[in-house]
Amino acid sequence: MNKNKTRNQIEDKYKWDLSVLYASDDCWEKDYRKVEKGLPQLMAFKGALADSGKLGQFMQLYIDHSVVRENLHVYAHVRFFEDTRNAVYEEMKGRIELLVSKISAETVFIKKELSSLSLDDIDTMIHENSQLAGYRFFLKSYARYKTAHPFGGNGNCFSRTENCLKKPDDAFLAFHDNNILFGEFEHKGEKIHLSHAKYAQLLESPDRDLRQKVFDYYYRPFRQNIDVLANIYAANVLANIKLAKVRNYASMLEMSLFPDYVPLPKQGIQQSR
């Protein structure tokens, strides 16, 4: 239960090996520019996704572009969470989030065009182009929205707004991962420095008095900032209510469950907007 080690004091074998994604930040920058330049290639298929031949070409390009984009996102976020005080990776994280938001806004036609297809349309297109068979589940997941949650309105504007509505999450994470201070306490003559990881570990101690102290000290900073956290929570709820309405869901619960094919409970949970 010694004082928590800094990341520099921990052996490399216990750290994330991000070289499987990028050997250096320069390699990340190279892929970042690649994704930026790849957007016009995706845009070239706008209005053509109902054609089985064009759709086959588009899907391979879209998947390749999405994989690189995801790698950029994961690398920047994991680097940031290594030390949330590091301004370099905070900037990289912000850049990729803005780029993803821009791409989502510009390529909103993808969801609109694919969700306009019926399940029969997709079966016909797969029959015409066997290359699409590998994307059957992906394509049919969009077709579900045709009748359940039709995609309308200004999709470009909504995609840009959606990123703003997710900011309450960022505010909470900034507090939870960077600004929170647990302090230290003494137990049986030993000073204990709490952290998120050590909290989970010490809660499994057979010493009941220790578990009580750990619980109390862990939640002290949350109680001390209860008004701020309550407002962040309220903002998050309001943002999700807005998202649910714009996306034509009956409730936030349905919005959360629908993408994963989980049906709403038939009773016991009251629905609200």
Pairing assessment for the beta strands 184-187 and 190-193 based on DSSP bridges: antiparallel
Per-residue confidence (pLDDT) for residue 162, from 0 to 100: 67
pLDDT at position 122 over 80: yes
Tokens 């629908």 belong to which residue?
258
Looking at the fold, whether 142 and 198 belong to one and the same domain comes out as no
Taking each helix axis as running N to C, give the angle between helix 87-106 and helix 25-43, from 0 to 180 degrees, rounded to the nearest 10. Answer: 10
| pLDDT tens string 177-218 | 878 888 889 999 899 988 888 899 899 999 999 999 999 999
Per-residue confidence (pLDDT) for residue 150, from 0 to 100: 57
Looking at the fold, whether 122 and 183 belong to one and the same domain comes out as no
**Average predicted confidence (pLDDT) for the chain:** 87
pLDDT at position 48 over 50: yes
CATH of the domain at 142: 1.20.140.70
Share of the chain above pLDDT 70, in %: 89
157: in domain: no
Per-residue confidence (pLDDT) for residue 272, from 0 to 100: 47
156: in domain: no
Looking at the fold, whether 28 and 131 belong to one and the same domain comes out as yes
Looking at the fold, whether 33 and 134 belong to one and the same domain comes out as yes
pLDDT at position 152 over 70: no
Looking at the fold, whether 180 and 236 belong to one and the same domain comes out as yes
Tokens 């806004």 belong to which residue?
105
Count the domains in the chain: 2
Q: How many Å apart are CA 228 and CA 245, to the nearest integer? A: 26
Pick from 97, 117, 151: which residue ends a domain? 151
41: in domain: yes
Per-residue confidence (pLDDT) for residue 245, from 0 to 100: 84
Looking at the fold, whether 45 and 91 belong to one and the same domain comes out as yes
CATH of the domain at 246: 1.10.287.830
Cβ(251)–Cβ(232) under 8 Å?
Answer: no
pLDDT at position 161 over 70: no
Q: How many Å apart are CA 17 and CA 5, to the nearest integer? A: 19
Looking at the fold, whether 87 and 24 belong to one and the same domain comes out as yes
Q: How many Å apart are CA 127 and CA 136, to the nearest integer? A: 11
Looking at the fold, whether 140 and 199 belong to one and the same domain comes out as no
Looking at the fold, whether 16 and 138 belong to one and the same domain comes out as yes
pTM: 0.63
Burial letters for 194-230: b for 16+ Cβ neighbours within 10 Å, e otherwise? Answer: beeebeeebeeeeeeebeebbeebbebbeeeeeeebe
Range of the domain at 240: 173-260
Per-residue confidence (pLDDT) for residue 147, from 0 to 100: 60
pLDDT at position 153 over 60: no
Looking at the fold, whether 125 and 38 belong to one and the same domain comes out as yes
Highest mean pLDDT among 58-67, 104-113, 147-156: 58-67
DSSP the chain: -PPPPPGGGS-GGGS--GGGT-SSHHHHHHHHHHHHHHHHHHHTTTT-TTSHHHHHHHHHHHHHHHHHHHHHHHHHHHHHHH-TT-HHHHHHHHHHHHHHHHHHHHTHHHHHHHTTS-HHHHHHHHHH-GGGGGGHHHHHHHHTHHHHS---S-HHHHHHHHHHHTHHHHHHHHIIIII----EEEETTEEEE--HHHHHHHTT-S-HHHHHHHHHHHHHHHHHTHHHHHHHHHHHHHHHHHHHHHTT-SSHHHHHHGGGTPPPPSSSS----
140: in domain: yes
Tokens 């309450």 belong to which residue?
168
1: in domain: no
Looking at the fold, whether 200 and 147 belong to one and the same domain comes out as no
Looking at the fold, whether 61 and 186 belong to one and the same domain comes out as no
266: in domain: no
Looking at residue 260, its amino acid is D
Residue 244 CB contacts under 8 Å (≥ 6 apart), including other chains: 250, 251, 252, 254, 255, 273
4: in domain: no
81: in domain: yes
